[in-house]
Amino acid sequence: MATAAAPVTDRMLEKARAFAVPLIADEVLDSGENTLAHADAVAGIVAAMGGSEAMQAASYLVYACHHLNRPQEVIAKAFGQNFALLAVETTKLIQVQKQTRQAHSGEGGGGQTESVRRMLLAFSRDLRVVMLRLASRLQTLRYAASVRKPVIESVARESLEVFAPLASRLGIWQVKWELEDLSFRFLEPETYKLIARLLDEKRIEREEYVAQLRTQLESELQTQGIRATVQGRPKNIYSIVKKMRGKSLDFGQVFDILALRVIVPDVKDCYAVLAWVHSHFQPIVEEFDDYIARPKANGYQSLHTVVRDAQSGRPDRPIEIQIRTEEMHDHAEHGVAAHWAYKEAGPRGYAGVWAGGEYDAKIAVLRQLLAWERDLSHSRQGQGLFEDRIYVLTPDAAIVELPQGATAVDFAYTVHTQLGHRCRGARVDGAMLPLNTPLQNGQTIEIIAAKEGGPSRDWLNQDLGYLASHRARAKVRAWFNAQATHETVARGREAVEKLLQREGRTAVKLDDLATQLGFRSADHLFEVVGKDEFSLRNIENLLRPQDAPNPAHEAPLIRKPSKDASGRGGVLVVGVSSLMTQLAKCCRPAPPDVIRGFVTRGHGVSIHRADCRNFRTMAAREAERIIDVEWGPQRDSGEAVYAVEVAVEAADRQGLLRDISEVFAREKMNVIGVQTQSVKGTAWMTFTVEIGHTGRLAQVLDTVSGVTGVRSARRR
């Protein structure tokens, strides 16, 4: 039974700190900082970002989680389920980031940065988790700077390439600037010191000049009836270096080292101030930006202009001036946090957080995180942030992306198909759980696999919830389909081998037998026999000599082809005797087809049907080789047989091949070859059958056309 959320009171912060002190007061973090001191500082940063006492209280509970056997249950009883979920999720993200950093140690920064970014995205459904991580990382860098202790490169790079851009996307500029400067300080200490020294050299002169400008602006605007607050705006070192490198500028060319910010009550005052500034200073037109009319993607609004003070005697010194309303300034300083009241909400709350006023903060956060994902991951362009996916870990901290609701079986198939087939159990964060348990973000999954074996049919039952991934489900189906095919082939092999034993022909090579029957391989023959789609009588007819009667019937059903029915293949060459002839395989002529002969080089006369396309081509090219031929006298209608090809088009279905083959068997036509192909539900079949005369073929083809599903049957 879920624990009800405890009400947030004025003493919640005090109560959370008192709860955590016995657990963390003497503990030291990996950075060397005392854990309680770190939690105190994080709570202060969260407060500066606009977080309520409830959010500040969570800063302590996060670090207390490490010392509790059942943190969610214990914290829920003392503070409510909302606090418990926040603390546990944040703790989990901290652990995942640490594991990821260790897993990528010794590698380039790209893999680790991408992994951390993805994990932050995965946990960012609750904005509070992200805010706590930003505050904690900022404090880690502040502490290292205060004790002059270097930060490991991976942490500094994460901060610069992941945390600072995230703060920027959320519009929390103060945190963004400080993260950038501190990260850059540890990544490029010499460059940082150089810019800091250059700034410091003229700091007094610059501050005096800025103070003079502030006083002048406030006074002049006051006489115009505009109530304005003018501030000097500090410039962070990293942005100076970035601009210098991006535009190949010298230090003295960076415009906004001297900067002022003008804050006014409403939007019309912004444009009034801009008009006054441009009338009293010399504007640099190409440096003007109107972010009020065209806000930045993260909602930032302000007027930016760069001017020169020609009357100061230093016209070469540009000044950047930002003009905004108090509301715009609040958003610029604290981002979306400025529009969120961090207090407990009912079931309509977003991740336990309520957004008040007309500003839809939930939509804003989703939009900014989605934009941040697109900015940093071109490889995943077009995929949304909240498309129901989770991220879990392998035992060696590799990140695996899965659909929401995925199980350990989905995980196993994503890692490797064979691991999925052999999956028999799973440890989730060290505890054995049922295989159909939905996984959560950040969990570490260890699969227990058998040495051999396959999946369970239960996994395909959607009601049992073993699989959420379509890809994993397809792999399971493929395994069972392969098993069914294997069983069918085995059944067909057994039937064919028994037939060969009865006929005393066990020495026959199975692949050769399949080829003679028109199949690609012995397994293909076994499969259609196992499906009962190919009659064993076709094999019997191929194996038995022409003159051996079939003991199962009064007369033989099929005759073995006669290769030389009349001494010359049943064909007479007009005016020539004893000339070798052969029936062309391209058109397979048979009596009473009109035939023509073509004298080949070294292979006698090739006999073609008169309407054969190949014959017409050869005749046009080498007319001198054409020779008149005719069918010889047929002494016995059963003495000579000819192979012809029949093309059948039909709607594919189970048993189609069997039904058509049975028609030929009933009509006493020997099938000596079959080729089949099925595409998108349509089957194309080519049967090679032996006939003595084409007269009966038309009748047989009419019968074949009557088979269910057959659309056409014709001689080729």
With a pLDDT cut of 90, the percent of the chain lying above it is: 16
User: What's domain 389-468's superfamily in CATH?
Assistant: Beta-grasp domain (3.10.20.30)
Residue 241 pLDDT exceeds 70: yes
Q: What confidence tens digit (pLDDT) does each residue in 137-147 have?
A: 999 999 999 99
Residue 10 pLDDT exceeds 80: no
Q: Poorest-confidence range of 268-272, 389-393, 465-469? A: 389-393
Q: What share of the chain is helix, strand, coil (3-state, %, to 5)?
A: 50, 15, 35
Q: Poorest-confidence range of 97-101, 108-112, 505-509, 512-516? A: 108-112
Range(s) for CATH 3.10.20.30 in the chain?
389-468
Tell me the C-alpha distance between 579 and 571, whole Å.
Answer: 10
Write the DSSP assignment of 501-541 as a string of letters: HHTT-TTS-HHHHHHHTT-SSHHHHHHHHHTT-S-HHHHHH
Give the pLDDT mean for 573-577: 56
Direct distance between the N- and C-terminal alpha carbons of the chain, in angstroms, rounded to an integer: 75
Q: Considering only CA atoms, which of 709, 701, 570 is closest in space to residue 635?
A: 570
Of residues 136 and 634, more confidently modeled? 136
Q: What confidence tens digit (pLDDT) does each residue in 467-490 have?
A: 998 889 999 998 988 888 888 888
pLDDT of residue 388: 63
HSE-up (13 A, CA, CB side) for residue 221: 26
Q: Could you give the maximum distance between any two Cα atoms of the chain, in Å?
A: 128
Beta strands 629-631 and 571-573 are: antiparallel
Amino acid present at 42: V
Give the pLDDT mean for 325-332: 83
Q: Are residues 47 and 4 in contact, defined by beta-carbon separation less than 8 angstroms?
A: no
pLDDT band at 533 (very low <50, low <70, confident <90, very high): confident
Amino acid present at 481: N
Tell me the C-alpha distance between 104 and 485, whole Å.
Answer: 44
Q: Considering only CA atoms, which of 701, 708, 703, 571 is closest in space to residue 644?
A: 701
Q: Poorest-confidence range of 122-136, 177-191, 263-277? A: 122-136
Q: Are residues 714 and 681 in contact, defined by beta-carbon separation less than 8 angstroms?
A: no
Tell me the C-alpha distance between 505 and 525, whole Å.
Answer: 17
> Which alpha helices (H) appear in 104-188, and where do they start and end?
109-123, 127-146, 153-158, 164-169, 173-187
Cβ-based neighbours of 152, under 8 Å, separated by 6 or more? none
The DSSP secondary-structure symbol of 393 reads E
Q: What confidence tens digit (pLDDT) does each residue in 682-714 have?
A: 888 888 888 877 778 888 888 888 888 899 898
Write the DSSP assignment of 79-100 as a string of letters: H-HHHHHHHHHHHHHHHHHHHH
Q: Poorest-confidence range of 48-57, 64-73, 363-372, 463-472? A: 363-372
Of residues 434 and 535, more confidently modeled? 434
Range(s) for CATH 3.30.70.260 in the chain?
532-559+641-715
Q: Are residues 631 and 591 in contact, defined by beta-carbon separation less than 8 angstroms?
A: yes
pLDDT band at 455 (very low <50, low <70, confident <90, very high): very high
pLDDT of residue 482: 85
pLDDT of residue 116: 62
Give the pLDDT mean for 522-541: 81
HSE-up (13 A, CA, CB side) for residue 300: 22
pLDDT of residue 462: 87
Give the pLDDT mean for 301-308: 90
Q: Which two tokens stand for residue 247?
A: 């535009």
Q: Poorest-confidence range of 252-256, 293-297, 489-493? A: 252-256
Give the pLDDT mean for 223-228: 88
Give the pLDDT mean for 429-444: 86
pLDDT of residue 297: 66
Topology of domain 198-339, CATH: Beta Polymerase; domain 2 (3.30.460)
Q: Are residues 154 and 434 in contact, defined by beta-carbon separation less than 8 angstroms?
A: no
Tell the residue number behind the tokens 């003008």, with chain if given.
262
Residue 385 pLDDT exceeds 60: no
Distance set, CA 137 to CA 41, 42, 45, 497 (Å): 11, 9, 11, 73
With a pLDDT cut of 70, the percent of the chain lying above it is: 75
For the chain, the average pLDDT equals: 77
Range(s) for CATH 1.10.3210.10 in the chain?
12-187
Helix axes 536-543, 656-666, angle to 10 degrees: 50
pLDDT of residue 272: 92
The residue count of the chain comes to: 716
pLDDT band at 121 (very low <50, low <70, confident <90, very high): low
Beta strands 581-583 and 605-609 are: parallel
Q: Which two tokens stand for residue 288?
A: 């003007």
Q: What confidence tens digit (pLDDT) does each residue in 55-108 have?
A: 788 889 888 888 888 888 888 888 888 788 778 878 877 776 676 666 555 554
Residue 516 pLDDT exceeds 90: no
Residue 380 pLDDT exceeds 80: no
Q: Are residues 146 and 138 in contact, defined by beta-carbon separation less than 8 angstroms?
A: no
Q: Poorest-confidence range of 99-108, 129-138, 289-298, 670-679? A: 99-108
Topology of domain 532-559+641-715, CATH: Alpha-Beta Plaits (3.30.70)
Tell me the C-alpha distance between 390 and 695, whole Å.
Answer: 70
CATH architecture of 12-187: Orthogonal Bundle (1.10)
pLDDT of residue 642: 83
HSE-up (13 A, CA, CB side) for residue 654: 3
Q: Are residues 479 and 454 in contact, defined by beta-carbon separation less than 8 angstroms?
A: yes
pLDDT of residue 579: 63
